[in-house]
Amino acid sequence: MSLEIPDRVLAAAANRPETVGKEVHLRGWIHRTRSSGGILFLLVKDASGQIQVTARKDLLGAEAFARAEKALVESAVEVEGTVHADPRAPGGQEVRARRVEVVHAAEVFPIFSGQTEEFLLDHRHLSIRSAEMVATFRVKAEVMRAAREYLDQSGYWEMTPPILTGNAAEGGAEAFVLDYFGTPAYLSQTAQLYLEALLFPLEKVYAFTPSFRAEKSRTPRHLTEFTHLEAELAWADLEDNLRLQEGLVAHIAQRVAEARAADLRVLGRDPKDLRAIQAPFPRMRYEEAIRILAEKGFPITFGSDLGTAEERALTQDRAGPLFVTHFPKAVKAFYMLESPHDPRTVECADLLAPEGYGEIIGGSCRETDLERLTQRLTATGARPEDYAWYLDLRRYGSVPHAGFGLGIERVVRWIARREHIRDTTPFPRTPSRVTP
C-alpha cells in the first residue's frame, strides 16, 4: 500500500493566496511551536517550505490537543484543516487545524543556534536540516543536472570508470592505498586515464565520479573526497578544450540562476551575478599572471605554482571566471602536452572562479607520443610498467586530445557563496573527519 495520500498538499502550495478557503492535508515536521491562551501555533515545514498551523483545544479535543502541545521541534505531524489568510503568519496564510496527529514525537533536538562548528560537524546527520544546507544541496543538484544537460546536448557520452584502481594518476603520495586481496590498490584520484582509453572508440566522453586525495591540506577548498566531473575530447587542442569548459560553466551559471533563484537568495547570492557569467572567459598566460602578482608584491618567479593566496589576488576583483594558461611543465602532471612554442610550459589551463574563490577546473592537452610520455612518467619517479595499459593507448591510433576535471564542490562553493568547501557537501571528508 502506498503511503502517498492523494490529497496531500505541500506546505509551499498551501501557503499561497489561491489556496485560501480550501481543505488541506499536510505532512511535515514541527519547525517552531508555542501555545498561548488555548491556541497552539505550529510552524510546519516539509521539503517544499513551511506554513503556520493553528490548533484549538475545543476543535481538536483535549487529548489530541495535549499530544500536539507536547510535541517538540522536529516531531513529525499530519494536519488536516482549512487555509485562511492571516497577515501575521509567515507567508500570509495559515491552516486552522481540525486534526493534528503526532506521527512521531521527537526527543529534544540537539541543534540550535550558537553551537560550535565542531559540534555541528559531529551532528552533521541532523545539522543538514538547516535552511542554508538545504538550499546549498538543491543548488548542488541543479549544478550537476545542468552539467549533465550541457554535456549530453553537446554529444558527450557519460561513462562509468572504476573507483578502485591500480594507478595513482595524480601522484602516488596523495593516493589512499587499500589492500585489494593482498595487492595494493588505490581509491581513484581522477578518471582521466580511463576516459582517455574510452575516447578512442567514443571520441567525446565524460564521467561523474568521487575522487579521493590523501592530502593533509586543511584549507577551505580541499576535501579528501570530492565529486569530480571530467570530460575528454578527441581531435582537440587547448582552445577547443577551453571553449567546452566556458560553455559548460556559463550554462551551469545560467541554469542555476533561472531554476534556483529563491535558494540562491537564502545563500546571499544574487542570481544577477550568475546571469552575468557568459562565454567567452578571458585567458591569461601564466607568465602574465606572475608579472601581475609580482607587481602586487608576491615573491614569485617563473616556476612557482599558484596557491590559494595567488589565485585570490588574481580573481578577487573579477565578476567572472578567468583562464590561466601555459603553466611551467615542472609544476604540472606528467601527461600534459609540452607547448610547441615554449618547451618550458605545457598546453594547460586552470579555470579560476571570480571573487577570490580560485581554481574550479584543471585541464590540458595530453601528450600523445609514446616515447615522450614514457620519459615524463619516468621523471616523476613512477615505473612505466605500472602504467603499461595507459602507455598502450599511444600505440594504436594516438590522436591529439584534451580534457579537464571540474570540482563540483568548488563550483558550488563559488555559486552558493560558501566560506568553506565542507558546507557544499552533506557529509564532508577532511583529514580530521570521516564520520558521520
Return the H-helix or E-strand segment holding 287. helix 286-295
Query: Which listed residue (223, 290, 353, 393) binds ligand NSS by CB under 6 A?
Result: 223
Q: Which of the residues 140 through 179 are near ligand NSS (CB under 6 A)?
A: 170
Strand, helix or coil at 228? Answer: strand
Q: Which of these ranges, 123-131, 222-230, 244-252, 296-304, lies near ligand NSS under the rule CB under 6 A?
A: 222-230
Which amino acid does the sequence have at 117? E
- By CB under 6 A, tell whether 407 contacts ligand NSS: yes
Closer residue to ligand NSS in complex, CB, 170/263 = 170
**Could you tell me the smallest distance in angstroms from the CB atom of residue 22 to ligand NSS?**
47
Question: Which sign does the torsion angle of CA 50, 52, 57, 61 carry?
Answer: negative
Query: Which listed residue (46, 94, 142, 230) binds ligand NSS by CB under 6 A?
Result: 230
**Buried/exposed code over 297-317 (b: 16+ C-beta within 10 A; e: otherwise):** ebebeeebebeeebbebbbee
Query: Which listed residue (226, 281, 327, 414) binds ligand NSS by CB under 6 A?
Result: 226
Residue 415, Cβ neighbours under 10 Å: how many?
29
**Could you tell me the smallest distance in angstroms from the CB atom of residue 176 to ligand NSS?**
12
Geometric angle at alpha carbon 14, from 12 and 17, rounded to 5°: 100
Query: Which listed residue (228, 260, 401, 418) binds ligand NSS by CB under 6 A?
Result: 228
Query: Which listed residue (75, 190, 325, 425) binds ligand NSS by CB under 6 A?
Result: 190
List, in sequence order, every residue forming a beta bridge with 417; answer none if it has no partner: none
- By CB under 6 A, tell whether 387 contacts ligand NSS: no
C-alpha cell at 424: 557544499
Cα–Cα distance for residue pair 16/24, rounded to 1 Å:
12
Closer residue to ligand NSS in complex, CB, 65/212 = 212
- By CB under 6 A, tell whether 409 contacts ligand NSS: yes
Phi, psi of 138 (to 5 degrees): -70, -40
Size of the residue set binding ligand NSS (CB under 6 A) = 22
Query: Which listed residue (15, 33, 136, 192) binds ligand NSS by CB under 6 A?
Result: 192
Q: Which of the residues 324 through 383 are near ligand NSS (CB under 6 A)?
A: 359-363
Phi, psi of 135 (to 5 degrees): -60, -45
Query: Which listed residue (27, 204, 260, 410) binds ligand NSS by CB under 6 A?
Result: 410
Q: Is the peptide bond between 280 and the residue preceding it cis, with omega within 30 degrees of 0? A: yes
C-alpha cell at 152: 549530453
> Which residues of the shown chain bind ligand NSS in the complex (CB under 6 A)?
170, 190, 192, 213, 215, 222-223, 226, 228, 230, 359-363, 403-407, 409-410
